[in-house]
A and B are shown apart, each in its own frame.
Chain A
Amino acid sequence: MPRTRIVVLPFLLAALPAQQSTELTWHTDLGAARKLAAEKKAPLLVVFRCER
């Protein structure tokens, strides 16, 4: 079934996961990131971005 391609606020999507920042490291494995967050006592920011 064809699905409607949805255009999402471009700047926000571009800004977060594609951030070319030297300060932010983006993890892809949530389990590993949770262990790291526990060690660092840091909160997690988990971004779910559908690529469709």
Chain B
Amino acid sequence: MGRSNQELSAAAAPYVCVRVVDLRAIDIHNLRFDFDLTFAAVLMHSDGTVYHRYGGRGPDSAGSHLSMGSLVKLLEETLADHAAYDRAPAPPRAAEPQAAIDLPALQRRNANEKIECVHCHMVNDAEYEDAVLGKRWKKDDLYNHPDPARLGLTLDTDRQNVVKAVAPGSAAAAAGLRAGDEIAAVGEQACVRTQSDVTWALHRAPFQATKLDLRYRRDGSEQATTLALPADWKRCPPEEYAWRPFKWNLSPSSGFGGSELGRDAKKKLGLDENAFAFKVDYIVDWGKEAHRGNAAKTAGLRHGDVVVSFAGKSDFRSVGHFHAWVSLTRTAGEDTEFVVMRGKERLVLRYKLPE
């Protein structure tokens, strides 16, 4: 569905358009979306009622869930939602306002180093830090804004509430959904028009085993079903979590990182061109996580070493996958072996995985 910038302009013209690049003044208790994203849009009423969220991404591409056509379509269709709401407004019960910059963690940081700009992901980081300090943090909380893939649903990129595929054996399949169905409502989201609307409803549902009502249109009629979601249903594999900047908050962590080697560089080291390998560009020997990098240095790691396997695993899809896998599947303090190339020399280093 190719659409032009002119069509986007025309579709957005009835709206009061706002561009937010600094979240400091945003009331994050009453206006929430997936703060890990680098692009998100919210369509809302002036009273704070959110009609739809737009954004989202897949594990491999930041643009996989975005298209000009889907955004134009959303802008056009939401005008009807706005007109209907204006006939029977029901303003949401507002939560206690919370400007992002007033989060205690950001206040502490601002006192040390003036924050020039509150990025979206910084809200997640600050809420995490405050939750840990307040002993409110639960490890399951890291699985926020679950992708519809957790239900076994693949949605169409241009017509975002239309089911493109249903995974066999999934909760969506058990609920009777099939390709071509148009999701009308799910959970708390009374009107679904986007992938992010579905994600929001999933985000608001409990992590534990639960049932979620879903309405969909098929062959011109609307039908209802129930999604039966098992315990831990929000949990995703590390490769799907790898893109999230939130992973940098998690423990344990290797204490080092770097950039993936290109094919030529791998050949020079005698590595298979498809093998996973990254060059150690940094060792975290500064700040409050300095113990992590120091543990790696004590094990013998140096800048410029090339990591080819970690804890027996060498099939990481990316450096992000490596970091997510360490944090999501390993335990702090466990004996860990990792293999690095230093020139043509292959070294096996050992340490206790830092917390």
Contacts and interface: CB of A to CB of B under 8 A. Distances in A.
Contacts, number: 166
B45 A44 contact: yes
Interface in A15-52: 15-17, 19, 21, 23-31, 33-38, 40-52
A2 B82 CA distance: 42
B306 to A, nearest CB: 17
B117 interface: yes
B45 A15 contact: no
Nearest to B44: A44
Contact of A48 (B17, B20, B25, B75): B20
Chain B binding site: helix, strand, loop or mixed by DSSP?
mixed
Interface stretch (B34-42, B130-138, B203-211, B338-346): B34-42
A44 B117 CA distance: 23
A26 B18 contact: yes
Contacts of B41: 16, 45-48
Nearest to B75: A45
Contact of A30 (B20, B39, B119, B257): B20
A50 B8 contact: no
A19 B117 CA distance: 22
A33 B18 contact: yes
A51 to B, nearest CB: 5
B261 to A, nearest CB: 16
Interface string B1-25: 0000100111011111111110101
Interface of B: 5, 8-10, 12-21, 23, 25-26, 31, 33, 37-48, 51, 57, 62-63, 66-68, 71, 75, 78-79, 82, 86, 117, 119-121, 243, 245, 248, 257, 281-282, 284, 289, 319-320
23 contacts: A3-B248, A4-B319, A8-B39, A9-B39, A9-B62, A9-B63, A9-B67, A12-B71, A19-B9, A25-B17, A26-B19, A27-B18, A28-B21, A30-B25, A41-B86, A42-B82, A43-B79, A44-B15, A47-B17, A49-B39, A51-B117, A51-B119, A52-B119
Interface of A: 1-4, 6-9, 11-13, 15-17, 19, 21, 23-31, 33-38, 40-52
By Cβ-Cβ distance, the 3 closest A-B pairs, closest first, are A9-B63, A37-B46, A38-B46
Given A12-B67, A12-B71, A50-B119, 11 more contacts: A1-B289, A8-B66, A11-B68, A15-B5, A26-B19, A27-B17, A27-B18, A34-B16, A43-B16, A44-B46, A49-B39
